[in-house]
Structure 1
Amino acid sequence: MADLFQDEVRAEAREQPSADAPLADRLRPASLDEVVGQEHLTGPDGAIGRMVAAGKLASTILWGPPGTGKTSIARLLADAVGLRFVALSAVFSGVADLKRVFAEARTAAKAGQRTLLFVDEIHRFNRSQQDGFLPYVEDGTITLVGATTENPSFELNAALLSRTQVLILHRLDEEALGELLSRAEALEGTPLPLTAEARDALIASADGDGRFVLNQAETLLGMGIDQPLDPAGLAQLLQRRLAVYDKDREGHYNLISALHKSIRGSDPQAALYYLARMLVAGEEPLFVLRRLIRASVEDIGLADPHALVQCIAAKDAYDFLGSPEGELAIVQACLYLATAPKSNAAYAAQKAAWRSAKDTGSLMPPQNILNAPTRLMKDIGYGKGYAYDHDADDGFSGANYWPDEMDPLTFYHPVNRGFEAKVAERLAFWDEKRRERQKQD
């Protein structure tokens, strides 16, 4: 199957698509300056533009969403610098296919013909398969151009990344998608049967994917529609595209990060938007709730102790109601967190206390606060001189609770916001009481 894929791609590189080929294939750019939406790479000052101008192509990873031109750019790069073009799909290829391609590339190199190996979905190769590219990239047998929709930092070996440069392709904006539709209309010799508003709706539904918008345009042009469709008519005719969102990949982490930071930044509108993005795309609500609970203790804490209560209540409400009714409880918790006073004092205190615990090892607490359940322990001083705070004025003895080998430390610094402002007043009161006791002693 890999051989068939290679043969097809090589044929495409040599010949123009047939008249009955899909519209997206017939509109493939013939040169790099025809690629839309990636001018930051293909322009004169872009990385690709500079490499082509110099006639030297480095091994590269093209990282971007679906339908942004990764395959077209790879093919055009080979043409621009005069390299033999070979393509593989990591979905259909294995070690035997790679060995065969490398052997062919070495034979071609001896004849003076260098090879550009394009690997689609390169992140689907496992770690050992990725390692197999290294010697051939290093000795120049191949110039590797890999395409991936996933974050290379997570999906590709560090060794392979160190030998390539990562170029980021942008999702196509409205102007780029509109240009593709205009090219489709020019090629077919007829306008799309859409009102201006429906055309905008079609572009918005593509979610930055050029291949998708061209496939939809081809469907519309082939239906023989007499009157232009409005947005409602278009929605009835074409299935709306769902946002790209892989729950176990980078889109998952990008949106949950955006949600958390919007809450931290006290922007309830943005927080609600990212919450909706995740739940509409099919994210597991309990995953979102876990992050909301984390945000309640990391970014709000004692500035509003009810934040954690709200999140736990939202979890219980969702468990009880399920979807979609229970999602309203998640919305309420999200809005509560975003509008609550913020403090990371508990979070910072935890980190500082954990560092101190690791540094000080196994120091014993002072003997006066140790229990003495046996006579021997009483005889050696355990519990001797313990001050029972409830017997002291104001319910506060001011005793020392730190190991004798340590000076008291301060981990927790409450902020002057929300309930934590009252906590700060209380701590200041107790600090003053301690100082008074120290003067008396």
Structure 2
Amino acid sequence: MPDLFDTAVSSSAPAASRPLADRLRPAALSEVIGQDKLLAPDGPLGAMLASGSLSSLILWGPPGVGKTTIARLLADASDLTFVQISAIFTGVPDLRKVFDTAKLRRSQGGGTLLFVDEIHRFNKAQQDGFLPHMEDGTIVLVGATTENPSFELNAALLSRAQVLVLERLTPAHLERLAQRAEKELARALPLRPEAREAILEMADGDGRALLNLIEQVAAWKVDKPLSTEALGQRLMRRAAKYDKSGDEHYNLTSALHKSVRGSDPDAALYWFARMLEGGEDPRFLARRITRMAVEDIGLADPQAQTICLHAWEVYERLGSPEGELALAEALAYLALAPKSNAVYAAYKAARASARKTGSEPPPKHILNAPTGLMKDQGYGAGYAYDHDAEDGFSGQNYFPEGMKRPVFYQPVERGFERELKKRIEWFAKLRNKRQS
């Protein structure tokens, strides 16, 4: 019975019976495609191997970019026994067995590279269980995760391991992989050039997915190379990678928001479409779009908020997919609207000032005096009724007595805030005139 903790396919299995992805597994780090920044002589892993000192690592990257392969080859290059477990299927008793075996191996002069797939699925206590064995050298931990380690892994574990980011495979990388597959299969794929590009797109940066697609195509018996249309009829397009509660959700939300802030409606609509295609709730997008109007357009275009709220209401009335067009229209409007975060900045500055002076009372002249006692205390004394003042502006002080007058709101020279800036400057002149 094979070892529970080592999932390597037996080398004695006939090559033809093994999946193509396994047959093409690189035999050396130099054969790994797409991760040159890490594996180059002056890259993090290249430098570690050259120095003969491999530290514990967290490999963070999307599926199918070589995390497992790199871990296995690092063990070979460092003369360590490769042990693989998955956080999905491994419990505390299994971990104890792994650590005990690693201790025995160490007492006999050997070392262990423990590869933990989906390491972010271990809870805090399980993650803490690795620490003493990392510190005393029982194991070199190499964890793999598709989620942001900053959010998913304990600070104690991260402090003892170096996080390395693996990149999504580009079309050029996938083409190299396809050529290797054709060499292994000893025949070219029966695809027209445009269909070949289409299958690379279907893989969506995932090398393992590409090899699975190629394996399907290579098994077909066809008389002539297939067109893109014929390929699409035989293969289902792979769903885009999108986790509505994970790192990809936050990445695409950030891309959407920054595209609007950067006044690029095309990019904004692209990321909006990507999120919808991934299954995002349009109500989340409606809320986020409205937030953009408040945060990034503000009073430079006071209509923006109203347009977003109306689009949200239209979506609620029409539902999908028609209602999503209203959200797209609001999004395009925001991208092309004049931008200002002046009120947002003023609000944050006012909150900070309020925290510092939170106990200061208002000046007495702007307090109501409904009782005689309050009048005796000076409440309301000297209050100037602005409607009776010249220009409808008294210029009185409305901040706590003794507090230096701050300036929070500074409108920009864009959109409607140009007019607001003129008003602020006019009132400032009147205030100086009244107080002089």
| TM-score interval for Structure 1 and Structure 2 normalised by the shorter chain | over 0.9
Matched, 1:6 2:13: no
Equivalent position of 2:261 in the other structure: 264
Aligned with residue 331 of structure 1, among 325, 328, 337? 328
Q: Per-residue CA shift, 1:266-292, capped at 9, x if unaligned?
A: 111111111111111111111112221
Contact 1:17 1:26 in 2 (8 A): no
Q: Per-residue CA shift, 1:184-222, capped at 9, x if unaligned?
A: 111111111100110001001111000101001101111
Q: Per-residue CA shift, 1:91-123, capped at 9, x if unaligned?
A: 000111111101100000010010000000001
Equivalent position of 2:40 in the other structure: 43
Distance 1:226 1:150 in 2: 44
- Deviation of 1:403 after TM superposition, in Å, equals 1.0
Equivalent position of 2:197 in the other structure: 200
Contact 1:67 1:212 in 2 (8 A): yes
Distance 2:79 2:12 in 1: 16
Q: Per-residue CA shift, 1:255-309, capped at 9, x if unaligned?
A: 1111111111111111111111111111111111222112111111111111111
Q: What amino acid maps onto 1:295 in structure 2?
A: M
Aligned with residue 81 of structure 2, among 44, 63, 84? 84
Equivalent position of 1:399 in the other structure: 396
Q: What amino acid maps onto 1:54 in structure 2?
A: S
Matched, 1:59 2:56: yes
Equivalent position of 1:223 in the other structure: 220
Q: What amino acid maps onto 2:365 in structure 1?
A: N
Give the 5 Å matches for 1:302-317.
302-317=299-314
Distance 2:3 2:420 in 1: 71
Equivalent position of 2:178 in the other structure: 181
Q: Per-residue CA shift, 1:121-165, capped at 9, x if unaligned?
A: 001001111111001001110000111111111111111111111
Aligned with residue 163 of structure 1, among 160, 165, 169? 160
Matched, 1:426 2:423: yes
- Deviation of 1:379 after TM superposition, in Å, equals 2.5
- Deviation of 1:74 after TM superposition, in Å, equals 0.7
Distance 2:269 2:7 in 1: 46
Distance 1:253 1:396 in 2: 47
Q: Per-residue CA shift, 1:396-433, capped at 9, x if unaligned?
A: 11111111121211100011111001001111111111
Please say which of residues 412-421 and 287-296 is displaced more in the overlay. 287-296
Aligned with residue 133 of structure 1, among 123, 130, 135? 130
- Deviation of 1:393 after TM superposition, in Å, equals 2.1
Q: What amino acid maps onto 1:178 in structure 2?
A: E
SS in 2 for 1:427: helix
Equivalent position of 1:30 in the other structure: 27
Please say which of residues 386-395 and 84-93 is displaced more in the overlay. 386-395
Please say which of residues 100-109 and 179-188 is displaced more in the overlay. 179-188
- Deviation of 1:225 after TM superposition, in Å, equals 2.1
Matched, 1:295 2:292: yes
SS in 2 for 1:6: coil
Q: What amino acid maps onto 1:190 in structure 2?
A: R
SS in 1 for 2:63: coil
Contact 1:37 1:172 in 2 (8 A): yes
Matched, 1:375 2:365: no
1:131 to 1:303, Cα distance in 2 relative to 1, 3 A: same
Contact 2:7 2:84 in 1 (8 A): no
SS in 2 for 1:117: strand
Distance 1:5 1:18 in 2: 23
Give the 5 Å matches for 1:87-166.
87-166=84-163
- Deviation of 1:16 after TM superposition, in Å, equals 6.5
- Deviation of 1:377 after TM superposition, in Å, equals 1.6
Contact 2:178 2:214 in 1 (8 A): yes
SS in 2 for 1:88: strand
Distance 1:161 1:383 in 2: 61
Number of residue pairs matched?
436
SS in 2 for 1:355: helix
Distance 1:293 1:154 in 2: 27
- Deviation of 1:50 after TM superposition, in Å, equals 2.1
SS in 2 for 1:19: helix
Aligned with residue 386 of structure 2, among 365, 373, 389? 389
- Deviation of 1:18 after TM superposition, in Å, equals 4.1
Aligned with residue 237 of structure 1, among 223, 234, 237? 234
1:381 to 1:17, Cα distance in 2 relative to 1, 3 A: farther
Please say which of residues 268-277 and 44-53 is displaced more in the overlay. 44-53
User: How high is the TM-score relative to the length of structure 1?
Assistant: 0.96
> Please, which runs of 5 or more residues in structure 2 have no aligned partner?
none
Aligned with residue 344 of structure 2, among 326, 342, 347? 347
SS in 1 for 2:5: helix
- Deviation of 1:56 after TM superposition, in Å, equals 2.2
Distance 1:106 1:18 in 2: 35
Distance 2:278 2:94 in 1: 36
